[in-house]
Amino acid sequence: MVNPTCDMSFELAEGEALAVLGPNGVGKTTLIDSIIGVTTHFSGHLYFKGEDITRLRPEQRAAAGIGWVPQERNIFKSLSVEENLTAVARPGPWTLERAYAMFPRIKERRTNLGGQLSGGEQQRVSIARAICKNPKLLLCDEPTGALDSETGSMILSLLQRMSRQYGQTVIIVSHNAAIAPAADRVIQLRNGKVIQQIINESPVSIEEVSW
């Protein structure tokens, strides 16, 4: 449930990568939940591609082009990697083949069940599954949580490439301030409010490693 005393306002340009930072309990996940439409609405408006979507249900927001990568990953562990991707895929530029090109590791594991994958591989599947829905906006809740530093860097590198090379609009929510230099813009939350916004004139490229 959204705290009715929250006062949060920001805009996001198409193709921009936004990092939303703050410690646990400041409203980061609540922000994500509000965008996907699973919180109680008290006041304010949410506009997406120029349209007021405040009253739309979660499935309507998804159909409008909002994708979500939950912190828990929530992939189908009894389905293969390829079944995870094709079960929710929608027509658009992000095809199965393009997702595999972006995530070659999961192409190698495409016949494996979701429950047979490592944490980093499950995170890749979660992101690939979301983009196979061809969203205009991709929301990532703690995408590097519970991952080792090397795997976390790989995931951030992939998200950065999606924004820079493919023009995907991305919001990355995290308590880890290390992701800030990679984003085009950073906002910091405290008690459900934006206390700081920083524009990165020259975002840092996350070093690509072998994965």
Q: Which domains does the chain have, with CATH numbers?
A: 38-170 (3.40.50.300)
pLDDT of residue 134: 93
With a cut of 60, say whether residue 206 has pLDDT above it.
Answer: no
In single-letter form, the type of residue at position 191 comes to N
| DSSP SS3 for 21 | strand
Instruction: Give the separation between CA 151 and CA 103, rounded to whole angstroms.
Output: 13
Three-state DSSP at 177 gives: helix
Per residue in 10-63, pLDDT (tens digit) is: 888 999 999 999 988 888 888 899 999 998 888 889 999 999 999 999 999 999
- Tell me the pLDDT tens digit for each residue of 161-196: 888 888 889 999 998 888 887 789 999 998 888 888
Of the candidates 135, 198, 120, the one whose C-alpha atom is nearest the C-alpha of residue 166 is 135
What is the tens place of the pLDDT at every residue in 88-140? 899 999 999 999 998 899 999 999 999 999 988 998 999 999 999 999 999 99
Question: How many helices (H) and strands (E) are present in the chain, helices listed first?
Answer: 7, 8
- Banded model confidence at residue 158, pLDDT cuts 50, 70, 90: confident
pTM of the model: 0.84
Residue 25, by phi and psi: left (phi above 0), alpha (psi -120 to 50) or beta? left
